[in-house]
Amino acid sequence: MASIAVCPGSFDPITYGHLDIITRGAKVFEQIYVVVLNNSSKNSLFSVEERVELIREVTKDLPNVVVDSFQGLLVEYAKSVNAKAIIRGLRAVSDFEYEMQITSMNRVLEEDIETFFIMTNNQYSFLSSSIVKEVAKYGGDISELVPRPVKESLKEKFTKLHNQE
């Protein structure tokens, strides 16, 4: 049986922290579906299509990674691609409570799907999409935080937004 995992997230936008988790997950599972969950309760900077496009660009050298998007319950998406595993990254103890909540909920919804946690490399333990957007918004250097296509898209996005003000 192929080991298929889903790596879900908002990815608004993908950072080196996410990429680290995806790359390490891709060494363990035969196939990984990186899926952008269209979570309507969040105000996103990038559209779902833009986020998918950026993830595709920065994972193009990982042959067992497929990038997709979905609106609905994560476990429903996992079932649709025959995935028995969910991969989540853990940066610090502060992530634990939130992750425990969503893992427990997913288990109630579908007990046959297991969640696996990968500890983020220490160098990315402070990194989040929100912090990257904050720094990029005010023109800070984000070269060490996100891959080049993401850096360029952020620059373009904020230039456009500044010009509208």
Closest-by-Cβ residue to ligand PNS is 9
Least Å distance, CB 74 to ligand PNS, is 4
Q: Which is nearer to ligand PNS, 74 or 154 (CB)?
A: 74
**Helix 148-164 × helix 48-58 angle, to 10°:** 150
Query: Partners of 85 in the beta sheet?
Result: 5, 114
The answer to whether 51 and 13 have CB atoms below 8 angstroms apart is: yes
User: Quick check: is 18 catalytic?
Assistant: yes
Least separation, in Å, of the C-beta of 66 and ligand PNS?
Answer: 17
Which of 54, 74, 145, 146 is the binder for ligand PNS (CB under 6 A)?
74
Q: Which of residues 118-147 bind ligand PNS (CB under 6 A)?
A: none
Binding mask 15-54 for ligand PNS (x = CB under 6 A): ----------------------x-x---------------
Cis peptide before 149, with omega less than 30 degrees from 0? no
End-to-end CA distance of the chain: 54
Active site residue 42: yes
Determine whether 129 is an active site residue: yes
Do 139 and 110 form a contact (C-beta atoms < 8 A)? no
Closest CA to 142 of 160, 129, 161: 129
> Could you tell me if 15 and 30 are in contact, meaning their C-beta atoms sit under 8 angstroms apart?
no
For ligand PNS, which is the closer residue by CB, 72 or 139?
A: 72
Query: What is the DSSP secondary structure assignment for residue 107, as one 8-state letter?
Result: H
Q: Does 80 bind ligand PNS (CB under 6 A)?
A: no
Please report, as ranges, the residues that interact with ligand PNS according to CB under 6 A.
8-10, 37, 39, 73-74, 102, 105-106
Give catalytic residues, as residue numbers: 18, 42, 91, 129
